[in-house]
Every structure is written in structure tokens, then in C-alpha cells.
Chains A and B, each alone.
Chain A
């Protein structure tokens, strides 16, 4: 292990070393930077040899012999003899064999390369697959144990960082890209068949950025060919990806255009409407999937009796649910009368196939407006009807419920209608759902409705096939304070999801604003640029890393994973897929030019009419 070329210095004897931290007095020739990996061999008095592997967490330099600040000038002025000393602080990552002692003061310290590096980062332990997390400062890949990614031993990813520079979504996509689009990823997911059954749901919350990930990134081509290790193509190569490109198996969804009631044209500006599916729920799905609960997700509503009213109303809808006779667009009839023997158990009711009924048997519902009318009618019918529908609640509570429904008409209304189809899981591995144009209430509704379905379908199927859910601004859906069905669902997924194969890739600006169960249950904890004032919430980072994280540049993340005791800073390469319309648009122009050129060439080559020549 000890070779002179890799020697960087000696374990500092002027200060204590312990089993977790030691210092290295650097050799005058050694060039060492933060995050470098080092190794020290120590021979114990009983002849046993142990090797400490560590990561450089801080570097210090001083003039030994200078007592006063002004002595520095005397050294520079060449009047005071002093020695320039550089020291590196090292945190121990691993001791091999596992025998917890401190490295001996004065022992030579070498750079951990090759096998040493693999040992330092526990790669030898990752026998059941490893997923690249990024590149370290030297350009070498850092891996996560796949068992902690796919739910076998752990799951979920929590990504924190301030928006704009923390590149949280980009990092989530970087991980998904490697799983879903690369050869290695296929192996990690159990071969082609395994991969084909995996689904990832990504919610797009900003612009229409993620509606372009199926296109090549024009910036990528421009950046490739940059000097040295800044070339993204080389970085991807280091990660084992020889042909980085766009996501190939993608379906895109957007809410329908709000001015197109009745039609199902997706509301997108930067993509052809034919490329994107409009999503929504039919009245029948709305009732049977009990989506009404996800209409009441703001904190203020849940602290009052309104939640109870919603529950009562939801059950009554289910009890009275009939399909409109002769209709196949999802219109329903809510019967005026319901026999008393009908169950009150909502889940049992939801499983039942509804009977058909003519429109005259009850209240016909074709869109969200019809729901509002139903509520209006009940409210106008007097106490008896109200008690039946809303339980014995205060008039004021019922009115609050009514006001809420009215307010939602504008926000959620466009998402409910006959003939709409919800986000499917068919035909692609990656499903991007645009919620960026929706109001907060509607965003919560969509996330809740979709997650509920994924979660319900996975009950009882075991871990495979895996479902990944990428959700930014997690604090909106599962805030640290308060209660809502959506938060309950997310906490449930966080706690039980890994064994059921529902894996959450959550992102948030500040971990402290999110329900504690979410980041706590995440195996991979990732932080990009952190807000200096917020960094207190990131206990998994050392103090110096927290401070450093407040100055991270885009593309730098620090990753903490269960097997490696210290978080490791990594960089991830520029994406080969477009992450906004600008990156993709430029490429379209190029594509057009290419097509023009080919057409021109064909004409020149084949004469006036190449088609007839064959």
C-alpha cells in the first residue's frame, strides 16, 4: 500500500489523532485538495495491521515559528526564519479490518487509489450492484450501494438545496437517467425485463422544463470538447455511459387547456400538443378513487371539522353512485335515494362496480361544476338533507365546506370531466406530469390522486416492479406542521414504501420545512447549495461541510449514504437530455437543417425523381 509516489505526508504527532479524525502534515511536494481520499497503515503492538481510510475535510497552512500576525511580513520580507507547514484534516471513513483504533502518529499517509479507493468508499461491500452518484474531485466515480436505492435494505432519496443553484431536479433526473437509460442501470434493475416494468413519475413544477427530457440537449454538444475533465462526454464516460443521450422511453402529460372545456387538448406552449397527453379524471374516477379528500389539503381546513364533512360527503357520493345509462365517458348519476342497507365503508363501496341509472334517477354529474351544483342543492334543501349528507355538523362548518368547493371550481374544475384520462403507466418507463400551470390546491390534488393510485396498486405486489416518484417542493405536500391526507400518504410511503417498491425522490429547499419522516427515512441524503441560515437542519453533514455547502456551485452535491459514514461531495455531469425548451429548441433548428441537407443531397444524388428510379 505504501508507495513513495503516493505519499502525501505523515500523521501529525503534535496533536491528537483519534479513531474518527486525524491530521496529516503534508509533504512539501504533495498537492492535496478537499475530498481527496487517503490511507494510513498502522501496525498494532500485537503485530496486527490495520488500514485507516479517510477523506480530507479541511486543509490548513501556517508559518511555523511566526508568533504574531506581523511575523508573516517578516517571513515574506526575508528577515524571519519560519517554516511553511500545511496540514490536512482527515475524517475516517473506514478501518480495515474493522478494528477501531486511532492511526499511529507519524505514520506515512498515502493517497488512496485503485483498490485502496474502492475500500475507502466501501465499493467492495456493494456486491449486489452499485449506482454511480457522481464524480469526485479527481473525476473518479462514487457509488451508492444499490440495496439502499431499490428498497432491499433502504430506499428513498432526499435532496435539499436552495432553488436555482442547487440543481435538485437535475440531480434526481441524473440518478433516474442512469437507472432507466444506461446499460449499467438495466443490470441494476434486473435486466431488460426488470427495467421495462419499472416506472418513474416526475412532476414538472417549473415552466415546461421537464417536458423536453426526451430531446437531446444542444448545450451538451457545445460543452463537449471542453478542456480536460470539464468535458461532459468524458464525465459520462467515467460513469460508464458511452453514449449519453435523451430519455428514450418517456410519456408527457399536461392538464388540458383551460379554455377548452369538453375537449382534451393539453395546455402546453413549448411542445407540440400531439406529443403531450392531456390528463384528468372522469366524475366516476373522482368518486370511486375518493379524490375529494385531496381537495382538502391545506392546513387551515384540516384543523377544523371541514375534514369530517368532506369524509361524510365522500361516503354519501359512493353510496349513491350510479353510472349514467348508455354512457361510456365516465358521467355519473348521484341517486336521490339510497337504500339503508348500503354499506358505509368507503373502500368496500369503491371496489363495487356501480349500477347504471338514467339521468332522471338523481343528480347528473359530467364535470366539477355539477358537483358544486349538487352541494348547492343539498344546502338549499334544508337541515334533513344536510344532516344526511354532511353528518350532524354545525351549519358554519357546512358553509365552510361549501365555500371551499366553490373556490376549487376554478382550480380543480378543469381536471375533472367526461372523457378525460388520468396519467397512465403504460408504454413508457418515465412519465412526466406537468403541474406547473396549476394552482397550489390543484397541484396537491394531482399529486395526491396519482400517488394514491400508485400506492394502492402496489399494495400486495411486493417490491417489484419498482415505482419511482420524483417530487420537488416536498414541503408543499408534506409540510412539517399540520395534517392532511396527502401528508399522511407521503409519510406512509416514506415509512413503508421501500418494502413495497414505491421509492420517493423528494426535493425541498429546506429539510426543516418537510415532515420529519420523509428525510429521516431516505437512505440517500443529498444536499446541493444550502441556505447558510438553514444549514442547521442538516445534521448528516459535518459543520465544515455545511458551511461549504452554502457555497456550492451548480452541479456539486454532497451525498450521505448508510454504509459510508461520512458524506462525500460529488459532481454530476451536464445532462445529455434537454432540461428546458431553450436547450431543446436550438436542437430542433439543427435537426431541420440536417433534414434539409439530406433532402438536398438525395435530390442531387438521385436525379429529378429518385422515387421512380427504383
Chain B
């Protein structure tokens, strides 16, 4: 059984024989695919988790003078970090949030400021696809996440970035710096990434064990880790995550970072009842997301605010 709750999709969707399947090269253990159990480490001294949330709060349309109707959305995003240290409770820092109104058709629409303080940054995407607008909102969030990750990385934190590194790499100068310890944390598996026989060995990892490092086609080192036990009803891949490290950091740094992360992260895996995506959705990340969502404010209040400013806008149009 898939451990994720239905609304969260599935953690494992990788068919063995699909065109997306890639076969990456194992770069550790002389090319052999093996299980590693990093030596148990002390409490993390400076470990942080960076994550973001986004929410679409209203769908909009705008009918221009030419009679053409374009679609858009109003939404919000937030990003921040949960800092875990050896001597203090986990602390949320660097939170940042924003609101945006994104329209398709290449023409931005500004919404007036709302009296209660709501404001939206206008922007536009080319084409007619609303998904592109959604993507723009996501990119805004990711840019903020990347900025936070970079700052923490520079400050010497072992930075666990929730999600694949690939989409944010352009904004991440830190990832390319030598010695930087940045680890992408991927919870879902969409395609096979190893040769078939190595791929079949991954579920054999015991909790706390990681696989040999392999190099992806996009300049990352990666390793599979069973971060927690998913229960006797769960599928073979439940509880397995992929750790990614920018290849620019160098293989030694990458190995050290992956070892360190693999040693520490299992203690942050939640028990099954605690989270809809347990055990892979790490507790600090879940806490951070909940806090960020709260920072975004009530979705109903946001919707009401959009309604009020759009009414204002429409009235202005009708009474020129």
C-alpha cells in the first residue's frame, strides 16, 4: 500500500520501462551498487531545512477592449528555513512571503491595494496556458527558497533543500561553490534512474542505509536513502528518498555531505500517524510548511480581498 494520503499523490510512480527512464553511472565503490550505513553522528550542530509553500487563492479572467478573454490567477507563496542545532529547539527563520497576480497573454494586470494591507505583485506569462501562470508563481517561491538556501549554505550550514535541486540550480550560486554542503531531498520517484538490476536493489536498503553515489545527467551526485520505516503494509519503495548534491562541490564533499545527511535525517522522520506523507516528509519541514501557510493568512480572507479589489477595478472601468 502507498503510504501517502490520496490527496498527496504517490511517492512511487516510476515504471521500469518508460521513455523517461535513465541509467546513471554509479561513481562510488568502484561502480558497484552497495548499501552504506553512515556512522551514527551526534546531534546535528548546524543543520537546516529549506522549503516553501504556495497557494492559488483566486482564478481571474480579464476581457480586453478587443473582446478577448485571458486567464490569470492570484496567489501567495512563502519560503523559509527550519534550523536544527545541538542545543536549542528547532527554530524557524528567514521566513518570507509574497502575493502575486499572474496573467496569461503576456500582459500584466495590476490589482489595486486593498485597504486592509493586501497587495499583489503583477506579472504576466506568454501563451494561453494557466499552468504557465501557476509555474510562474512556483518559480517565484523557488527563487526565494534558493536565496535562503544560499545564505545558509554560505554561513556553513548543512542545508537540506526540500525537493529536487535541478529546477533551482540556476539561482543557486552556492551549489557551485567548492565545499558548499547543499543536499536536495526528493520524496517522490517519477522515473527509474539506475540500470535495471541496480534499481531493483534499492528497496533492499534498511532504514538509515544509503546507496552508493551515482551521477545524474544534469550534474548532480545522488544517493538513495531509506529514511524511515513505513510499516508492514507499505510497498518496497515507501520510506526511500533521493539525496542530491551538486557535482561542482566535488565528489569528496558530496560523499561527506550525503553521509552526514543520511546519518542525521532518519531522526527527523515522523512516525506514521504524524504526517500524511510519513515517514519521508521530515518533521521540521512539515512544521515549517504549516507555519508558512499560517503566515500566508486565511485563504478565505485572501479570496475576499481579491473580490473586493476586483469589484473596485470593474467599477472604475464602467465609470470612466
Contacts and interface: CB of A to CB of B under 8 A. Distances in A.
Contacts of A80: 90, 283-284, 287
Interface string B8-47: 0000000000000000000000000000000000010000
A74 B290 contact: no
B61 interface: no
Interface string B240-277: 00000000000000000000000000011001011000
B96 to A, nearest CB: 16
A606 interface: no
A68 B274 contact: yes
A75 B274 contact: no
A76 interface: yes
A79 B267 contact: yes
B139 interface: no
B225 interface: no
B291 interface: yes
A81 B290 CA distance: 10
A45 to B, nearest CB: 15
A79 B274 contact: no
B303 interface: no
Interface in B35-76: 43
Interface string A65-94: 100101100111011111000000000000
Interface residues of A, number: 12
A238 B146 CA distance: 61
Q: Tell me which of B86, B90, B284, B288 has the highest count of chain A C-beta atoms within 10 A of its own C-beta.
A: B90
B51 to A, nearest CB: 11
Contacts of A68: 273-274
Contacts of B82: 81
Q: Tell me which of A68, A78, A79, A81 has the highest count of chain B C-beta atoms within 10 A of its own C-beta.
A: A81
B91 interface: yes
Contacts of B89: 75-76, 78, 81-82
**Which DSSP category, helix, strand, loop or mixed, fits chain A's interface?**
loop
B83 to A, nearest CB: 8
Nearest to B86: A78
A78 B43 contact: yes
Contacts of B287: 65, 80-82
7 contacts: A65-B290, A75-B90, A76-B89, A78-B85, A78-B86, A78-B89, A79-B283
Contact of A79 (B84, B88, B273, B291): B84
B148 to A, nearest CB: 15
B268 A81 contact: no
B92 interface: yes
Contacts of A78: 43, 84-86, 88-90
Contact of B291 (A65, A71, A74): A65
Interface string B136-166: 0000000000000000000000000000000
A450 to B, nearest CB: 67
A65 B89 CA distance: 13
Contact of A81 (B43, B267, B273, B288): B288
Given A65-B287, A68-B274, A81 B92 contact: yes
Contacts of B92: 81
A107 to B, nearest CB: 18
Contacts of B273: 68
B290 A79 contact: no
Contacts of B43: 78
A121 B259 CA distance: 64
Contact of B284 (A70, A71, A76, A79): A79
A79 B268 contact: yes
A316 B69 CA distance: 113
Contacts of B88: 78
Interface in A19-65: 65
Nearest to B88: A78
Contacts of B90: 75, 78-82
Contacts of B291: 65, 81
A80 B270 CA distance: 10
A76 B84 CA distance: 12
A65 B82 CA distance: 13
Nearest to A66: B287
A132 to B, nearest CB: 45
Contacts of A70: 271, 274
Nearest to A63: B89
A541 to B, nearest CB: 38
A82 B284 CA distance: 9
Nearest to A82: B287
Nearest to B268: A79
Interface in A507-559: none
Nearest to B85: A78
Given A79-B90, A81-B284, 10 more contacts: A65-B291, A68-B273, A70-B274, A78-B85, A78-B88, A79-B84, A79-B268, A79-B284, A80-B283, A81-B91
Contacts of A65: 287, 290-291
Q: Tell me which of B88, B89, B291 has the highest count of chain A C-beta atoms within 10 A of its own C-beta.
A: B89
A76 B87 CA distance: 10
A435 to B, nearest CB: 63
Contacts of B271: 70
Contacts of B91: 81
